[in-house]
Every structure is written in structure tokens, then in C-alpha cells.
Amino acid sequence: MSVVGSIEEICTSALGAIENAENSEALDAVRVSVMGKKGSLTSILKSMGQIPKEQKAEVGKAANSAKKRIEAALEARFAALSAAELEAKMSAEAIDITLPGKSRPIGTRHLINNMEAQICEIFAGLGYVVVAGPEVETQYYNFEALNTPADHPARGLQDSFYIVDATGAQTNVRGESDVLLRTQTSGTQIHVMESQRPPIYMVAPGKVYRKDVPDPSHLPQFTQIEGLVVDKGITFGDLKGTLDYFCKKMFGEERKTRFRPHFFPFTEPSVEADVSCGICHGEGCRFCKGTGWVEVLGCGMVDPNVFGFVDIDPEEYSGFAFGMGVERIACLKYNVPDLRMLVEGDMRFLRQF
């Protein structure tokens, strides 16, 4: 066969092989077998020296044309194969970066826990310790040692959930069992005074329970923070100064406080502390029922009878106590009109805090 004939043959079979190459690897193998160092077309081009002069031009022309056609075919096939390969790779990995990502909601402290922490923090700043008392109490700690005997009318205001034990726990004159869910954190005062001698500066946060039907201002379970100070020479002035400081820290420096006489069995004298209304600033509005003041907490000087239960000498020591509802403080601070909103677990409400 003439040299030109074999060039044509190499070219035809190369073009066929290029067309049939199924992937870029196979295509590269075709390129090497034709155009590589030892490729079929390369060896013809290398042997041009041995070709008779009169044939050189013709053979050279045929070889060049074959080379160009093969190169063009390789390039076109490579482009087609690599596009297909990229396509296949993308659909196999299939990540659509235009889709919005999956976000995990970040949890936060519940408003009630948050308020509890804020309140404790304010008192911790004054050097108070934070203690915890039991939620299941006996009549003694919840009422009697707090100067509230079974026949005391104040008991009627705090009906609780009684825990009747299988052995038939004792009942009192009211027919109640001895063990109950505490109705107030005030019992913690007794626990602390039993286990510790003055000076005492403590706050005790925790849950309390009452047999109340939920309404805008009542919950059957809520949170209180009890405070107790017992030291030498503690006066009503200390109580006022401390709670005024607390209210300013909690609600804002511009808020005023006032103390109204009240009754609690375990403090004498007893008062309720009000803070000036945050909405009308004392002018009188619907929120404060036209008075300009909102009630914040109950407090008073520790009744000497209570000291009698824990063997502290009222001639030597005096003290004050206070108790506040955390949910109530939260509602006052954020103008929430209904206590029940705090416990319904509605994320649209809770996420605002």
C-alpha cells in the first residue's frame, strides 16, 4: 500500500475510534495510539526522511491533513465527553446551593427562669446567698412555724394540694393531712433559721402551689422568691431601702416605691410594696386601675413569735422578710396582661423575650 494510502487508513480508523470512545479516558488512549511518541501517525511523520523526494510533498500534505482532522475530532469529542461527565457528576452529587438551609431553632431560657435568675442576681449583688427549700412541706414549715396555726383565718387564703399517705397521715382541726405542696416559699425561712445562726441574708426561689383556678391573675402553680435578713439592729428602714433598691434595679431607676400597711401572720408590722406604674408614670391609667401604683410584693419585719420557733433571741436580733411572685414581676416588667400567657408555651409569645 502506498504511504498516502496507509495515512488515509490510519486517519479513518482513528476518526472511527474517536467517535466510539465512551469516555475521556478511552479518548486519551486513542490520542496516544495515533499521535503519541510511538503513535501510528507519529511514526509515519518520523519516517518522512526515507520517503523518495518526488513523493514527499504529497505524503506531507496527506499527513498534515490527517493530523488536523484527527486533532479537530479529538477536540470536539473531548468537549462533548467532558460536558457529559460533568453533568453526570453534578446530578450524582446533586447539591442545590440555591435551596434555603435547614436551620435549627436555638433554645433560650424561659421567661420565668430568666426573671428568677435576674432577681437572684440583684440580691446576690447585695451579698445574699441563694438557697432552695423543699416543694413538699409539712404543715409545720408551711404554716405553724410561720405563726399561722390551723385555726388562723389566713389559712383560708392559701388552700393547697394535700398529700395523703397510705398509713393515714395525721389530720389537723381543718381535716387536712400533714403533708402538702407548699403554698409559699416562706417555709424556707424556717429551714434556714433552723440550720444557720444569724447573720442571715438569703433569697429562696422556687415553685409554690395553690388550689386556685387559673385566671389572669392566678395560677395553681407559680414561682416565688422569698427573702430573709436576720442580723443585729435591722430596722424597717433597711427593709425599705433594700426593696426600693431592688425595684429600681428591676424596673428602672426612675421608678418610685411606696409601702402600704397590710397583714401577714409571720411579719409585724407587715406591708405591701408598690412601684410607680411603668405605663402612666404615676398619672393613673387602666394598667394601674387609676392609682398610679402597682403592687409588687409582700414584706415586713420578722414577727418575734417566728424567732421563738427557731430559737433566735428577738432581743438580740431583728430582721425583715419579703416574698414576691416571679410571674407577677415578669408581667409588670413586660406589661403582660394575663399570667396564663407565661405557661401556655406559645413560642410566638415566648420568643419575644
Q: Does 299 bind ligand DAH (CB under 6 A)?
A: yes
Angle between helices 53-93 and 3-20 (to 10 degrees): 0
Report the candidate in 155, 213, 163, 164 with the shortest Cα–Cα distance to residue 184: 155
Looking at residues 137 to 156 of the shown chain, list those that interact with ligand DAH (rule: CB under 6 A): none
- The residue from 187, 205, 265, 300 that contacts ligand DAH (CB under 6 A) is 300
Cβ 271 to ligand DAH shortest distance, Å: 8
Cβ 323 to ligand DAH shortest distance, Å: 2
How far is 11 from 41, CA to CA, in rounded Å? 8
Quick one: cell of 279? 405605663
Number of residues in contact with ligand DAH under rule CB under 6 A: 11
Cβ 186 to ligand DAH shortest distance, Å: 4
Q: Does 128 bind ligand DAH (CB under 6 A)?
A: no
**One-character DSSP codes across 152-166:** -GGGGG----EE--T
Q: Does 226 bind ligand DAH (CB under 6 A)?
A: yes
Angle between helices 111-124 and 326-334 (to 10 degrees): 100
Using the rule CB under 6 A, give the single segment among 13-21, 124-132, 245-253, 297-305 that binds ligand DAH. 297-305
The nearer residue to ligand DAH, 21 or 225, going by C-beta atoms, is 225
- The residue from 321, 331, 332, 342 that contacts ligand DAH (CB under 6 A) is 321
Cβ 185 to ligand DAH shortest distance, Å: 7
Cβ 334 to ligand DAH shortest distance, Å: 22
How far is 223 from 236, CA to CA, in rounded Å? 26
Q: Does 323 bind ligand DAH (CB under 6 A)?
A: yes
Using the rule CB under 6 A, give the single segment among 8-16, 68-76, 114-122, 294-302 that binds ligand DAH. 294-302
The nearer residue to ligand DAH, 278 or 323, going by C-beta atoms, is 323
Q: For the range 232-236, what are the long-range contacts, defined as Cβ-Cβ under 8 Å and sequence gap of 24 or more?
A: 232/198, 232/199, 232/316, 232/317, 232/318, 233/318, 234/301, 234/317, 234/318, 234/319, 234/320, 235/318, 236/269, 236/301, 236/320
Strands 162-163 and 221-231: unpaired
Looking at residues 171 to 190 of the shown chain, list those that interact with ligand DAH (rule: CB under 6 A): 184, 186
Q: Does 265 bind ligand DAH (CB under 6 A)?
A: no
Question: What is the amino acid identity at position 328?
Answer: R
Secondary structure of residue 257 in the 3-state scheme? strand
Positive or negative, the Cα torsion across 308, 310, 314, 318? negative
Question: Nearest residue by C-beta to ligand DAH?
Answer: 323
Residues of the shown chain interacting with ligand DAH in the complex, contacts defined by CB under 6 A: 184, 186, 226, 264, 267, 298-300, 321-323
